[in-house]
């Protein structure tokens, strides 16, 4: 019997440009692809409800892709090391291949697997494949990690060489006997109640094929104008690739390659591709930061913010924000888009986050936890950096005193109220002039639009002049420390 290779698929749920899988295929021996759901190792950052739904659909899709090339996806739930040991026993495999991860849980798991394999005399290899550059490759002249984005990205652009993604295997050699696989139900990923995810399912096609179609759509219809449309939540002006990137259903190296090809073919549109690659750069930045500062999900990068007088824990204000009942239309539209579709536009993420941490003075970690549970693209590095950026306590963050005004932000980026009208339908008949500030509309205008403040739409939950002053006073209190 030829010893098979176990390939852990956790780091990248795809066949295309999956270096661990490609290396196993090249070895010419039977390959056993495995996915292990190890909730315990992630602690409070185990996949949230929306991510669990996505993961279930994605694993189903991946299973079908493996079957199409004569293989199978073996599922297991439990501690990764224990599960891999059991699979080594059951299959006689002498090698374990995997993609490298950067979160504290992934790094802990890799180290533990490595130790276990060493003791058993099994080869344990990890492959880079989720980033354009590895964290060890990008350092300042002093050898320290970059904590400011612009010089970080400049350095990355110098270092990134021509990237040639590896194509998906056409056929994988099967083992003589397949090990047992858990049923999908044993992974406990399905939403409860089941219909909870129906609106999310109407918005997305999880899995590698869905990601490829999304990239095709973006390159064909959106990329050229991305720089202009990326801040407009009422348009399909971004790639919506974030969940596919978060689950590794599309390779960032494949995305890079397509962008470069586009820029070369349509030189006048280079700015769209370059602006897009810069956003991909923010993803690299966030992941490198999480690698270098593994306690970022819990602790602010700027120490002085440890003393900030945040409000914390459950509370009515937090619930109103979560439900999209703040009385500020762009904030409510964003929070309802998140609940209904599992995704929110980046501009609106910044507005709703600013409202929570500055106008409500609520702890950014409570906001991050809500996003974690409801986003289909929940990504520990991006989510942590996004929240710390808005709260002003993170790397290269927006200064705390810069407080987004939800009315002027709405008027600037959603001038006709297209976005608000879609997600806050009770305001749909308001004229453009008042769509972002119904609380300033004359009684007759409200009546004509069928809006009753405090009735079918809430009155503003804060007086923004006062909440702004309160936020600045809170900032003053930590500056004295
Ligand atoms: C408070 C807050 C929380 C966030 N939480 C997450 C999260 O959990 N997961 C997540 O993927 N993104 C998060 N982001 C970043 C960003 O909002 C999303 O990546 C983006 O909206 C996804 O939509 P898209 O794929 O259409 O983006 P595009 O504009 O098409 O960008 C392409 C890709 O670049 C990356 N990217 C874009 N903007 C950022 C950014 N600011 N930081 C890091 N990477 C970026 C993403 O991978 C994205 O898919 C957060 C931002 C904020 C302000």
Check which CATH number belongs to the domain holding 253 and give it.
1.25.40.80
CA–centroid distance, 275 to ligand 1, in Å, is 13
176 in a structural domain: no
Considering only CA atoms, which residue is closest to atom 17 of ligand 1? 346
Same domain, yes or no: 381 and 431: yes
Q: Which of 386, 392, 409 most suits a substitution to test ligand 1, by most atoms within 8 Å of the C-beta?
A: 386
Domain boundary residue, one of 129, 146, 178: 129
Lookup: tokens for 319: 């619930």
Residue pair 200/376 in contact by the 8 Å Cβ criterion: yes
Same domain, yes or no: 137 and 25: no
> Which backbone phi and psi does 380 adopt, to 5 degrees?
-60, -40
Same domain, yes or no: 419 and 473: yes
337 in a structural domain: yes
CA dihedral 449, 450, 451, 454 (to 10 degrees): 170
15 in a structural domain: yes
- Dihedral-angle region of residue 299 (phi above 0 means left; psi in -120 to 50 means alpha; beta otherwise): beta
CA–centroid distance, 382 to ligand 1, in Å, is 7
Q: Strand, helix or coil at 105?
A: helix
Domain boundary residue, one of 83, 108, 129: 129
Give me the pLDDT at residue 396, please.
81
> Tokens 């945040």 appear where?
310
Number of residues in the chain? 481
Long-range contacts of 411-414 (CB under 8 A, 24+ apart): 411/436, 413/231, 413/232, 413/233, 413/347, 414/232, 414/233, 414/234, 414/330
Q: Is 282 a catalytic site residue? A: yes
115 in a structural domain: yes
Same domain, yes or no: 257 and 389: no
Same domain, yes or no: 311 and 433: yes
Same domain, yes or no: 281 and 351: no
192 in a structural domain: no
> Which backbone phi and psi does 384 adopt, to 5 degrees?
-60, -45
Separation between Cα atoms, residue 262 and residue 255, nearest integer Å: 11
315 in a structural domain: yes
CA–centroid distance, 367 to ligand 1, in Å, is 15
Same domain, yes or no: 100 and 233: no
Separation between Cα atoms, residue 378 and residue 384, nearest integer Å: 10
310 in a structural domain: yes
Cβ of 280 less than 6 Å from ligand 1: yes
Cβ of 383 less than 6 Å from ligand 1: yes
Q: Is 310 a catalytic site residue? A: yes
Cβ of 318 less than 6 Å from ligand 1: no
138 in a structural domain: yes
Same domain, yes or no: 452 and 328: yes
Range of the domain at 158: 131-164+207-292
Domain boundary residue, one of 258, 292, 326: 292
Cβ of 219 less than 6 Å from ligand 1: no
> Which backbone phi and psi does 31 adopt, to 5 degrees?
-120, 135
Give me the pLDDT at residue 271, please.
85
Cβ of 421 less than 6 Å from ligand 1: no
Q: Which of 153, 221, 279, 404 most suits a substitution to test ligand 1, by most atoms within 8 Å of the C-beta?
A: 279
Same domain, yes or no: 341 and 420: yes
CA–centroid distance, 400 to ligand 1, in Å, is 21
CATH code for position 88 = 3.40.50.620
Same domain, yes or no: 35 and 97: yes
User: Which strands sit side by side in the sheet containing 31-37, from one edge to the other?
Assistant: 74-77, 31-37, 5-8, 95-99, 123-127
Same domain, yes or no: 285 and 346: no
How do the pLDDT tens digits run along the chain, 481 residues long? 789 999 999 999 999 999 999 999 999 999 999 999 999 999 999 999 999 999 999 999 999 999 999 999 999 999 999 999 999 999 999 999 999 999 999 999 999 999 999 999 999 999 999 999 999 999 999 999 999 999 999 999 999 988 899 999 999 999 999 999 999 999 999 998 888 899 999 999 999 999 999 999 999 999 999 999 999 999 999 999 999 999 999 999 999 999 988 888 876 666 899 999 999 999 999 999 999 999 999 999 999 999 999 999 889 999 999 999 999 999 999 999 999 999 999 999 999 999 999 999 999 999 999 999 999 999 999 999 999 999 999 988 778 888 999 999 999 999 999 999 999 999 999 999 999 999 999 999 999 999 999 999 999 999 999 999 999 999 888 876 5
CATH code for position 428 = 1.10.579.10
Q: Is 364 a catalytic site residue? A: yes
Same domain, yes or no: 243 and 372: no
Q: Is 270 a catalytic site residue? A: no
Atom of ligand 1 nearest to the CA of 283: 44
Number of domains observed in the structure of the chain: 3
């Amino acid at each position: 019997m030829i010893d098979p290779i176990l390939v852990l698929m956790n780091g990248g749920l795809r066949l295309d440009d999956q270096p661990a899988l490609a290396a196993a295929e090249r070895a010419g021996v039977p390959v056993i692809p495995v996915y292990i759901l190890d909730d315990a190792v992630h602690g409070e950052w185990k996949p949230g409800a929306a991510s669990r739904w996505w993961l279930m659909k994605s694993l189903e899709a991946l299973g079908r892709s493996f079957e199409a090339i004569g293989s199978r996806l073996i599922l297991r739930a439990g501690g990764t090391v224990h599960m891999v040991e059991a699979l080594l026993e059951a299959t006689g495999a002498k090698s374990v291949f995997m993609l490298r991860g950067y979160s504290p849980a992934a790094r802990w798991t890799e180290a533990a697997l490595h130790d276990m394999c060493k003791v058993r005399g099994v080869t344990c290899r990890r492959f880079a494949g989720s980033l354009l550059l590895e964290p060890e490759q990008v350092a300042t002249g002093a050898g320290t990690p970059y904590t400011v984005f612009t010089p970080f990205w400049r350095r990355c652009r110098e270092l990134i060489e021509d990237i040639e993604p590896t194509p998906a295997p056409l056929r994988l050699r099967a083992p003589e006997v397949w090990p047992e696989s858990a049923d999908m139900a044993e992974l406990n990923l399905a939403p409860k109640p089941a219909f909870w995810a129906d609106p999310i399912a109407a918005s997305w096609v999880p899995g590698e094929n869905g990601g490829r179609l999304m990239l095709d759509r973006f390159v064909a219809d959106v990329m050229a104008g991305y720089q202009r449309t990326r801040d407009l939540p009422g348009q399909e002006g971004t790639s919506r690739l974030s969940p596919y990137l978060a689950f590794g259903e599309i390779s960032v190296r494949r995305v890079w390659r397509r962008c470069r090809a586009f820029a070369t073919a349509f030189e006048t549109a280079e700015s769209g591709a370059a602006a897009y690659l810069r956003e991909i750069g923010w993803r690299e930045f966030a992941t490198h930061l999480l690698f270098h500062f593994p306690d970022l999900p819990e602790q602010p990068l700027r120490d002085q913010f440890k003393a900030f007088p945040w409000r914390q824990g459950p509370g009515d204000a937090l619930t109103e924000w979560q439900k999209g009942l703040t009385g500020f239309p762009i904030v409510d539209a964003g929070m309802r888009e998140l609940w209904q579709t599992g995704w929110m536009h980046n501009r609106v993420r910044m507005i709703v986050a600013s409202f929570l941490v500055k106008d409500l003075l609520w702890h950014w970690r409570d906001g991050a936890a809500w996003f974690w549970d409801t986003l289909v693209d929940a990504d520990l590095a991006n989510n942590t950096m996004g929240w710390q950026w808005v709260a002003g306590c993170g790397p290269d963050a927006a200064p705390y005193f810069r407080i987004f005004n939800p009315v002027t932000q709405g008027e600037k980026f959603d001038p006709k109220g297209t976005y608000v009208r879609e997600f806050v339908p009770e305001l749909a008949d308001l004229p453009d002039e008042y769509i972002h500030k119904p609380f300033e509309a004359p009684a007759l205008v409200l009546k004509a639009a069928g809006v009753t403040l405090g009735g079918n739409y809430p009155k503003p939950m804060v007086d923004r002049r006062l909440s702004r002053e309160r936020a600045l006073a809170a900032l003053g209190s930590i500056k004295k420390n």
